[in-house]
Amino acid sequence: METKPGVLNSSQVTEGVARAPHRSLFYAMGYTPEDLKKPIIGIVNGFNEIVPGHVHLRDLAQAAKMGVAAAGGTPVEFPVIGICDGISMNHDGMKYPLASRELIADSIETMVMAHKFDGLVLIGNCDKTVPGMLMAACRLNIPAVYVSGGPMLTGRHDGEKADLVRGLFEAVGQYAAGTIGAEELEAMELSACPSCGSCAGLFTANSMNCLAEALGIGLPGNGAIPAPYGQRKALAKLAGQRVVALSQNGVRPRDIMTLNAFRNAITLDMAIGGSSNTVLHLLAIAHEADVPLQLETFDEISKSVPNICKLSPSGSHRLFDLYEAGGISAVLKQLADQGLLELGEKTVTGKTLGENISRAFVRNAEVIRPLNAPYAHEGGIAVLRGNLAPDGAVVKQSAVAKEMLSHSGPARVFDGEEEAFDAIMDGKINKGDVLIIRYEGPKGGPGMREMLSPTAAISGMGLDKDVALITDGRFSGGTRGASIGHVSPEASEGGPIALVHEGDIIEIDIPGRRLNVRISDAELAKRHELWQQPAPKVTGKSYLARYAAQVTSASSGAVFKVIK
């Protein structure tokens, strides 16, 4: 996609005698000859009417187009898909969200390469849209600014804060346990999600939207400005202006999203206690940027960065509280003042990260604590290894009860989410058990489903301080408790998680970063010899069948195999 300095990519479709037919097609849509002499900026709009975080994105696209036009560019809007993880949860639809990340990146690549845009404003919000868009930006390496749709306002029930997870999903478990009735459950349904926007806690969508600021590809305010606020439209307008400037100055995503920028993003992630899915997505984005980011980097940084925010599901604060406390810029300023960030990194503002946050300050020291009085002395995420996860497993340690940081218990083995969820709801899981949900990895699932329904049911039934869950699938950013995911190698590849038997003792040591099954190497080898790979769950012509054939391990970001 590289062009000579000062030459617009769009000149390939707008200049010269041979491009007369191309220009005529532009004129058919109402563009003028003057429009075609300006930078042509793609407005990538994730709008749809099935995702609460995306239902308002038309307004942001209009604002971005105004910004592009005001800065001397020609805005051209096109759509991209987006999935609501909440609606696709706990049925076979959950096989698709992670797989949609690659579709989103590929579709943006297809539109840009076919039509030769000079820059992009990427407007998304929910879980896989953000990484898919950033992957495309790095792959294409044309000037780009990412704008999120912003978090929804905080719900309330009986005078208490509520959201989709610490509200509805956990209420399902409460209902099963008989602690609430049908009328209260219905009342919670009507009040937990009061506005458009990504779900109100620090779940995957909001985690990634926050990290975009530290990566430098999102403007300050991208992570926390509420979706319904006018500031959100102003941010989109500014993004349109900035991408024209970036196209004129030749500043590209790979100039911004460097290894140091990724380290800044991971540092922020550990400080705020973001979703464990950020590990998958940052690895995938770095892969597209040709940045040598490794799984070990997350744990290295986690050990040196305190957790200074406790947002839902880990605590009672929501994104709106973070916004009022000073937003992500205030968190970054806290980290910068202790020398934990690389402040000289370029950003889409045209300034360095340090310049962006120089005037930020914390307005509420309970929402954003000082580093010398953190919620925890280590970061939000830990990477575990052992004979159950030789290539690593990921846990959101900031959301784990102290009682479960170290735990041993008998394995309760389930070859799929539905079987495990039914056992939980039927009261068949006992205190001390360690649930193993396997054959749910990127390839085996396929699609590496999120296990929010089982973990929320466990929490709702009051077992989150007594029961652990381990899977080669993954967890929603809304998950809390001793929930260990991304176990690699996955079961369908013959990883040790496929060899666990009912009743085997599982040893979890999060402070020691260990995850083991208490059997000998010889016994593991014997079981592996007897193991038979199961038939694929999906075959035929579907996208999922093709996805399963191409996807790699969670430990490498679940990206597609590189074609050599």
Omega before 21 within 30 of 0, i.e. cis: no
Integer Cα distance of 462 and 238 in angstroms:
46
Integer Cα distance of 48 and 78 in angstroms:
12
Give the three-state DSSP class for 60: helix
Give the three-state DSSP class for 26: helix
Any known ligand binding at 128?
yes
Residue 412: exposed, middle, or buried by beta-carbon count in 10 A (0-12, 13-18, 19+)? buried
What does the block give as tokens for 202?
Answer: 């620090």
Omega before 489 within 30 of 0, i.e. cis: yes
* Radius of gyration, CA atoms only, the chain: 23
Any known ligand binding at 507?
no
Q: How far is CA 435 from CA 69, 424, 470, in A?
A: 55, 10, 6
Any known ligand binding at 127?
yes
What does the block give as tokens for 522?
Answer: 């010889």
Q: Are 117 and 42 in contact (CB under 8 A)?
A: yes
Q: Are 245 and 164 in contact (CB under 8 A)?
A: no
CB atoms within 10 A of CB 534: 12
**Helix and strand totals (H; E) in the chain:** 21, 14
Q: Which residue, among 441, 434, 439, has the nearest Cα to 473 in the 3D structure?
A: 441
Integer Cα distance of 253 and 260 in angstroms:
13
From the candidates 398, 453, 476, 492, give the one annotated as an active-site residue. 476
Residue 194: exposed, middle, or buried by beta-carbon count in 10 A (0-12, 13-18, 19+)? middle
508 forms beta bridges with 407, 515
Q: Under 8 Å CB-to-CB from 256, ≥6 apart: which residues? A: 215, 216, 217, 345, 346, 347, 348
Is 476 labeled as catalytic in the residue annotation? Answer: yes
Omega before 446 within 30 of 0, i.e. cis: yes
Integer Cα distance of 517 and 391 in angstroms:
15
Q: Are 128 and 100 in contact (CB under 8 A)?
A: yes
Residue located via tokens 């996955």 = 490
Q: Which residue, among 266, 534, 286, has the nearest Cα to 415 in the 3D structure?
A: 534
The residue type at 91: H
Phi and psi dihedrals of 51, rounded to 5?
-120, 115
Q: Are 130 and 46 in contact (CB under 8 A)?
A: no
Binding site membership for Mg(2+): which residues?
A: 85, 127-128, 450
Active site (catalytic) residues? 476
Feature table: binding site: 85, 127-128, 450
